[in-house]
Amino acid sequence: MKRLICVWIALAVLLCGGWPAARAEEAAPNVRVLLRRLNLTDRVDLYCAGAYVAELGGARVGLRRGAHATVQVRDGALVLYVGEVSIGGGEEMVLRRTDDGGAGAGLRFVQGGSLYPGDLRLTISGGQLQPVLTLSVEDYLLGVLPWEMSESFPMEALKAQAVCARTYALSRVDPSRAWDVVDTAADQVFRGVDSGQTNTARAVRDTAGIVGWYKGAMATCYYSASNGGQTELVENVWSGRGDWGYYAMTDDPYDLENPESIVRRAVLAKDGSLPEAFTEILHSYMMQRLQIGGWSTDPKDWRVTAVTEVTPTGVKLDPPSRFYTALRLSLRWEGRLWTVPVESPQPAGPDGDDDEEISLLTPAPTETPAPTPLPTPCLSGWQSGGEVTLTLSVFPDVIRALSLSIAGADNEMLTVTESPSAFVVEARRFGHGVGMSQRGAQWMAARYGKTFDEILAFYYPGMTLMIGGTGTAQLPAAPSALFSTPGPAATATPRPTLMPVTAENLPEGAYIASVEGVADDSSLNLRQEPYSSAEILMRLYKHQRLVVLETCEDPAWVHVKTDVIEGYVMVSFLEKVE
């Protein structure tokens, strides 16, 4: 990493200085990616798009272009199968590309699927395969950009995204760890290289080697889909020390103007017609007042008759932050009071006494008379309760009751506008809001013609752009001894056959669904219990049909079965079959 820093310092260039020609002899640095998204269990099928050398248990095996290999965990060790040959031993295997691979060499995890160019290290973790791919950062970006920013975005926005993604990845390089980044949104989404993504590939190529720099070190370029109209600061989102002087909290008119920025709206009618879930929250805030005033606390005996004011409030952070955490509502309401009826006195007898005859010869009773029963309280008709002002905490209940939640992060930016008949609450922000807004960058390039360096200067005002190594990796020569004799013929092992599902005589409420929310080279874990840490029973591949038996207590999970097995999956990965 120190050598990497020296290279960039030597090639430093300010924004106004233009870009020097790349030094082709300096290969682009590598990044190690944990391929968590593949959801590997104890087996993986590999298809070689180029020549590889497999190293396992002290043995070396040459794999020609087009070869198919399978790696499995057996008795705590790895076993490599190539055709009729099997080699076993050890808890680690490395597949290394050679210079015999040709252009576009790499591995595929599904025939015809995305290419994963680089060296693959397989280890065992918890009885499952753990794959880490080592590849050039420039090749890595080819598999990142199409998933982090759409291929259809303006070129200058794509270039800005390429610089951000490159800078972020290299800022995470740490030789003391087993990998640098994961292939999910926890870092950056990486799904292998698809040669059809030409615009994003050009953006990577046109910005080759360019990274962000701050005070003599690599910057960390965070970015999100939409900031809601104001950029956020790193220290307001993540704990931990750091010098983040190249970020600033500032209004972002580009994100706000972009019609493709996500906005959620809730209408609070002035006549008191409010969403049922929101009315329940208002009632819960009124409970103490109702109890003290002798009102019925039953939700059926309380209602809002008018909303007179709605204002965002509760600024959590220092100015100029407009991140509000509360809503102040003024409303008029009515309810029903508990009342106690007053009983009329009984009429007296003719002599002024009660009608009952009392014998003087009868001794007075000695037992204690029964207490007079208290009158039964009853409810009045509807009565006005006047006007009240409530301050509601927005997160998490109110934001969800009003269907304003965008990404479930409880960090939406709120604004309120008033019309003659209602108050309209709007929520914006998709993601953490730190650094570049992808929707803002899109609008800056498309509407205002900003270049990628102008976009980056707006979102990272204290950052300098520099250029480093851009050449291709130097691959080792293919050992002639390993490739001197013809290897086993490639055996195109198909993906496991999908399990049968009987659609007749389904239990009441059950339905058929198909696994569709996974990529072709990934899978969905069927678990023994409805939570993410439960034991994995098997992998379900795309288009696998399931009988959905019921929704679990956690509605994100459903109980499913096939004719072969039963378990639990996340419902978001399923599509109902009509």
pLDDT in tens, 51-108: 999 999 888 889 989 999 999 999 999 999 988 788 887 899 999 998 765 667 899 9
Highest-confidence range of 227-241, 272-286, 349-363, by mean pLDDT? 272-286
Quickly state the pLDDT bin for 504 (edges 50, 70, 90).
confident
Model confidence, pTM: 0.78
pLDDT digits (tens, 9 = 90+) for 97-154: 987 656 678 999 988 899 999 999 999 999 999 999 999 999 999 999 999 999 999 9
548/100 Cα distance (integer angstroms)? 49
User: Regarding beta strands 436-437 and 223-224, do their DSSP bridges make them parallel or antiparallel, or are they unpaired?
Assistant: parallel
Min mean pLDDT across 291-300, 426-435, 500-509, 564-573 is at: 500-509
Residue found under tokens 């007296």: 348
Mean pLDDT computed over 151-168: 98
Enumerate the domain spans of the chain: 2-221+463-467, 263-338+377-428, 511-576
Q: Tell me, rounded to whole angstroms, the distance of Cα 44 from its chain centroid.
A: 26
Q: Which CATH class for the 511-576 domain?
A: mainly beta
Burial string for 47-85 (b: 16+ CB within 10 Å, else e) reads bbbbbbbbbbeeeebbbbeebbbebbbeeebbbbbbeee
Mean pLDDT computed over 162-184: 97
C-alpha closest to that of 190 among 433, 453, 522, 434: 522
pLDDT digits (tens, 9 = 90+) for 334-346: 999 998 776 655 5
Give ∠ CA 563-568-570 in degrees, rounded to 5: 120
Average pLDDT, the chain: 87
* pLDDT for residue 338: 93
Min mean pLDDT across 54-68, 310-324, 466-480 is at: 466-480
Is residue 515 within 8 Å of residue 544, measured between CB atoms?
A: yes
Mean pLDDT computed over 350-364: 50
pLDDT at 3 over 70: no
How far the first Cα of the chain sits from its last, in Å, is: 55
Residue 210: strand pairing partners: 467
* pLDDT for residue 532: 78
Mean pLDDT computed over 289-313: 96
* pLDDT for residue 19: 45
Residue 303, C-beta contacts closer than 8 angstroms, at least 6 positions apart: 272, 279, 333, 334, 335
Q: Tell me, rounded to whole angstroms, the distance of Cα 284 from its chain centroid.
A: 31
